[in-house]
Amino acid sequence: MNKIFKILFVLLVSIFSFNLLVNAEAKETLKQAVEDEIKVFGALGGYEEDVSKLKAADLSDYKEDDKKINVYIFRGSTCPHCLDAIVYFAQNAKEYGKYYNIVSYEVWNNTSNNRLMSKVASTLGEKSDGVPFIVVGNKAYSGFSEDLGKKIIDQVIEMYNSNEKYDVFDHMEEPKVSNNVVIILVVLVAIVGVGFIVYVIKSHD
């Protein structure tokens, strides 16, 4: 009975660890978001034009840089307006990508990303009622259109050329734990769990 209890305990710990890993905050770069949208909407059908635009987008010179302005896009998988936002920033990366980093969080399938979106909105005194929810500096935007995209790029360029650069993640109420730290902890717990199971089995042979 004691052996069964120990095995069940380790299994519960392993399940909890797996849940942490699955629900850890997961951000994507512009290139990763583009690849994700191509995969998702390419499989859905009816979005051939948008998928073609993503595939044709020239991201060869696009690179993340700490000196650039972060544009946070909280989006939902299969959300058409979120797709519009990714298409817009991907298509404009050749000309304006030198000013912005696109940091994307998928919130429909990741509860931690969803909570992060709410925390970001709260920090700015806003409500995150839907996606895409886009944040640049101390301003948040809900929904997306080409006119809004132009407005965001204008704001990005203005901030880039300004001496004062505001990033909402620098003003969060609680420090954000690195995804890498969470993953390392989960892996360590999993290793200890497996080792414990092996020990229990061998000790009762």
Token digits of residue 174: 């609680």
Instruction: Tokens 């990366």: give the residue.
Output: 93
- pLDDT for 8 equals 46
The reported pTM is: 0.76
- 79 CB-side CA count, 13 A: 22
Q: Could you tell me the mean pLDDT of each successive run of 10 residues in the chain, 205 residues long?
A: 52 47 80 98 96 98 96 98 98 98 98 96 94 97 98 98 93 60 63 68 66
Q: What is the DSSP letter of 68?
A: S
- pLDDT for 175 equals 45
So what's the architecture of 26-175 in CATH? 3-Layer(aba) Sandwich (3.40)
- 36 CB-side CA count, 13 A: 19
Domain spans of the chain? 1-25+178-205, 26-175
- pLDDT for 4 equals 54
b/e burial code for range 114-135 (CB count within 10 A of at least 16 → b): bebbebbbebbebebeebbbbb
Contacts of 137 (CB under 8 A, 6+ apart): 69, 155, 159, 165, 166, 167, 168
Q: How far is CA 31 from CA 46, 54, 97, 123, in A?
A: 22, 10, 12, 28
